[in-house]
């Protein structure tokens, strides 16, 4: 069974600007500071709730000198973040105070991060323990849903609803009704790289891999991402999907109090720590 969204991964520009926006403006916690395992000269920054629970996580690869991406077909076109019922008035004021332009649709606020990644705030009845700059009664609780810029909406809906068992209209992976009006997406700062969905454990992930292979999808081998295990495939409309396990989680190498304070490297990169840390730009935490 798929238990909703695990995380969303996007491309950023400047790492410090990204860190400041998601921790100071949106009030999320930096729960892990590591590197792109496929490109160790680049940070991989993870933000979430106070414990870094699956379902609350936004992750970024900062590419400072890259050309800005273009959100469009074949990509996640919007990432909606849930806040508690009654919290939107607080967020209207907060976004104004931080000079973040937004569109007010009444039941949701639409805005973008400093690199142009499209975000929304929507109300839900769930509460979290909160963290940092935003009081608990207003804090972002989880990723509510993403919108998919699918070029094959019927086939995408068949995957999301028929195979994955999710509500493709009001659930965690929704079709963007304006996808046919969008240009083709281009990867770069401001664009979403992929969306990951949650499964309970490794056994469930292997079952999903076989199920997707049987359905004709080209699925990657299981990859060790240190804090979860992942498989990847493209849905029919071009969006990159990941299925990620809830365990082992972000406290395998740090305590709750230490989360995000130190650059964490997987064992196979530890011997290169001095070289890697020298290549990464310094970050001011807090």
**Bridge partners of residue 62, in order along the sequence:** 12
- Please provide residue 96's backbone torsions phi and psi, each rounded to the nearest 5 degrees: -65, -45
CB-CB neighbours of 76 under 10 Å: 26
- E-assigned strand segments in the chain: 5-12, 29-36, 39-48, 57-62, 76-84, 102-104, 108-112, 118-124, 142-148, 173-175, 192-199, 223-224, 229-234, 240-245
Per-residue pLDDT tens over the stretch 30-82: 999 999 998 999 999 999 999 999 999 999 999 988 999 999 999 999 999 99
pLDDT for 133 equals: 80
Cβ 19 vs Cβ 27: under 8 Å: no
Q: Which two tokens stand for residue 135?
A: 């009081």
Pairwise CA distance, residues 247 & 205, whole Å: 11
Q: Quote the mean pLDDT of the chain.
A: 95
pLDDT for 127 equals: 63
pLDDT for 128 equals: 63
The contacts of residue 173 (CB under 8 Å, 6+ apart) are 5, 145, 146, 148, 160, 164, 166, 195, 197
The contacts of residue 269 (CB under 8 Å, 6+ apart) are 35, 37, 40, 276
Per-residue pLDDT tens over the stretch 217-249: 999 999 999 999 999 999 999 999 999 999 999
pTM of the model as a whole: 0.96
Per-residue pLDDT tens over the stretch 175-214: 999 999 999 999 999 999 999 999 999 999 999 999 999 9
Instruction: Tell me: pLDDT of 264 over 70.
Output: yes
Q: What is the 3-state secondary structure (H, E, C) of 135-162?
A: CCCCCCCEEEEEEECCCCHHHHHHHHHH
Name which CATH class applies to 5-279. alpha beta
Using CA atoms, how far residue 212 sits from 62, 175, 209, 218, 235, in Å, is 31, 20, 5, 8, 10
Per-residue pLDDT tens over the stretch 85-144: 999 999 999 999 999 999 999 999 999 999 999 999 999 877 666 667 899 899 999 999
- Segment 18-29 shows an average pLDDT of 97
The contacts of residue 155 (CB under 8 Å, 6+ apart) are 235, 236, 237
pLDDT for 129 equals: 63
Domain ranges (residues) in the chain: 5-279
- Segment 255-278 shows an average pLDDT of 95
**Closest CA relative to residue 132, chosen from 43, 31, 32:** 31
Q: How confident is the model at residue 286 (pLDDT cuts 50, 70, 90)?
A: confident
pLDDT for 76 equals: 98
């Amino acid at each position: 069974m798929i238990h909703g969204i695990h995380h969303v991964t996007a491309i950023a520009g400047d790492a410090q600007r990204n860190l400041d926006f998601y921790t100071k403006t949106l009030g999320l916690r930096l729960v892990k500071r590591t590197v792109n395992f496929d490109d160790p000269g680049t940070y991989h920054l993870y933000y979430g709730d106070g414990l870094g629970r699956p379902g609350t996580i936004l992750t970024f690869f900062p590419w400072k000198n890259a050309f800005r991406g273009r959100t469009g077909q074949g990509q996640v076109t919007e990432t909606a973040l849930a806040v508690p019922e009654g919290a939107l008035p607080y967020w209207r004021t907060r976004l104004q105070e931080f000079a973040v332009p937004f569109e007010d649709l009444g039941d949701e606020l639409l805005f973008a991060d400093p690199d142009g990644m499209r975000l929304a705030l929507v109300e839900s009845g769930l509460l979290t323990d909160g963290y940092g700059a935003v009081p608990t009664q207003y804090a972002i609780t989880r990723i509510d849903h993403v919108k998919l810029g699918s070029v094959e909406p019927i086939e995408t809906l068949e995957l999301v609803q028929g195979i994955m068992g999710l509500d493709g209209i009001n659930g965690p992976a929704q079709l963007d009704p304006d996808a046919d009006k969008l240009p083709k997406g281009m990867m770069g700062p401001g664009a979403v790289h992929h969306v990951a969905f949650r499964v309970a454990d490794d056994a469930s992930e292997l079952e999903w891999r076989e199920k997707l292979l049987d359905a004709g999808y080209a699925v990657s081998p299981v990859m060790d991402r240190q804090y979860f295990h992942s498989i990847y495939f493209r849905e029919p409309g071009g969006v990159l999907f990941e299925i990620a396990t809830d365990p082992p989680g972000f406290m395998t190498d740090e305590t709750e109090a230490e989360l995000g304070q130190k650059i964490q490297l997987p064992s196979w990169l530890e011997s290169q720590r001095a070289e890697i840390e020298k290549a990464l730009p310094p970050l001011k935490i807090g």
